[in-house]
Amino acid sequence: MSSSTDSPCVWIIAGEASGDNYGANLAQALRQRRPDLRLRGMGSEQMRAAGVELFVDSSELGVVGLIEVLKSIRFFIRLLRDVSARAIAERPAAVVLIDYPGFNLRLAERLHRAGIPVVYYISPQVWAWKKGRIPRIARDVDKMLCIFPFEPAVYAGTGLDASFVGHPLLEILAPLRRDPPPRDPNLVLLLPGSRSSELKALFPDFLRTAAQLQQARPELHFMVPLPRQSCLEQAKSLAAATPLPVALSLEYSVGETRQWLSRAAAGLAASGTVTVEAAILGLPLVVAYRLNAVTWHIVKHMVKLPFVTIANLVTKRCVYEEYLQDDAVPEKLAPALLTILPGGSRHDEVVAGIRECTLLLGGDNAISLRVADAVLAAMKNDAPNA
């Protein structure tokens, strides 16, 4: 890593674990293109390991939920003020903002006013809701790097330079894609989400669905991959409180979700990023989700999309069947799962659909290099060095 103050400086700002991962890959790609670059920013362990000098550790910034955000609002206001002041003082050649729109869109506004080039990597999901943000984003961002092929059209007519670069998970999951383990034709994954509210809302019915499948196909067995020990404890507690008509052949795993996505025959998943990972890794899924009644009433009037699952939005057809709210019940989920297991009536159709989805998401693995090239093109050459 060059320490020369004559080298241009690029900032990378990430606020969550996924952004830290994407930021680390981008840092490596930037160094590959420009070994003289100095990289600074906000991130966590992966970005630090990739050679980014962190002036903010973001490992505790992943706040979820209205109450939690309100409790932390003074902290975030102070953080925004401090990072903005530092940028104005140091004037990096470009700042890359990765996802995290609640913070990063406000930072983009301040950077734009200061004349610092802003590259936004991973568009806020304004295509789903909050379309009123689009003019503000177009005003404050110099380059938008989109990870879904339908996103650049969202910014058409705004004057914002928006382009599709591919999904970074293609790159991250490349080792598993290149050398996949053999699939167990009788293994079904239960993927009820990572948040406590998701587990509570979905896991009991996922277990009841598994019980119906076990009765229909006794040779099946089930794995519940979870991201954290706290999720495992909650899942086991919910399982103990859920009466079932049969004893399930059921196991749990912590921190190995991607490996199990590569080994199973099919899965039942909560809507979320795991469905993108499953598509890239070739796993047929049935997707379910359930919100509390008030939130659902609000969301269904705000979000006007034909699907909620990315594989379906990208391919513009129903690859992964979706069962939302009152439809997310075992009586509908179990028959749908039987159709996507090997030999099932939809299995080949789903496999073809997720292959198409993977190609449309970018296909190859050079995502970070594409992003790096866009960042280098956006750099302000006459910017003072930080």
pLDDT in tens, 290-314: 887 766 666 666 667 789 999 999 9
Domain count within the chain:
2
User: Distance of CA 379 to CAs 10, 164, 181, Å?
Assistant: 8, 19, 42
Write the DSSP symbol of residue 151. S
Beta bridge partners of 221: 187
Task: Supply 59's token pair.
Answer: 């490992």
pLDDT at 374 over 80: yes
pLDDT at 381 over 80: no
Q: Is residue 385 part of a domain?
A: no
User: Distance of CA 290 to CAs 306, 322, 334, 353, Å?
Assistant: 17, 11, 17, 25
23 lies in the same domain as 161: yes
Check residue 201 and give its pLDDT.
93
Task: Supply 205's token pair.
Answer: 């019915």
Check residue 65 and give its pLDDT.
42
115 lies in the same domain as 251: no
Q: Is residue 143 part of a domain?
A: yes
User: Cβ(268)–Cβ(290) under 8 Å?
Assistant: no
Question: 3-class SS at 188?
Answer: strand
Instruction: Give the CATH number for residue 117.
Output: 3.40.50.2000
Check residue 17 and give its pLDDT.
84
37 lies in the same domain as 92: yes
182 lies in the same domain as 110: no
Q: What's the full length of the chain, in residues?
A: 386
Q: Is residue 4 part of a domain?
A: no
122 lies in the same domain as 182: no
CA–chain centroid gap for 125, Å, is 11
155 lies in the same domain as 184: no
145 lies in the same domain as 182: no
Tell me: the pLDDT tens digits for 234-270?
A: 999 999 999 999 999 999 999 999 999 999 999 999 9
19 lies in the same domain as 126: yes
Sheet holding 221-226, edge to edge: 250-254, 221-226, 187-191, 266-270, 285-289, 321-324
238 lies in the same domain as 328: yes
pLDDT at 62 over 70: no
207 lies in the same domain as 162: no
302 lies in the same domain as 190: yes
23 lies in the same domain as 137: yes
Q: Whole domain around residue 17: which residue ranges? A: 9-166+364-378
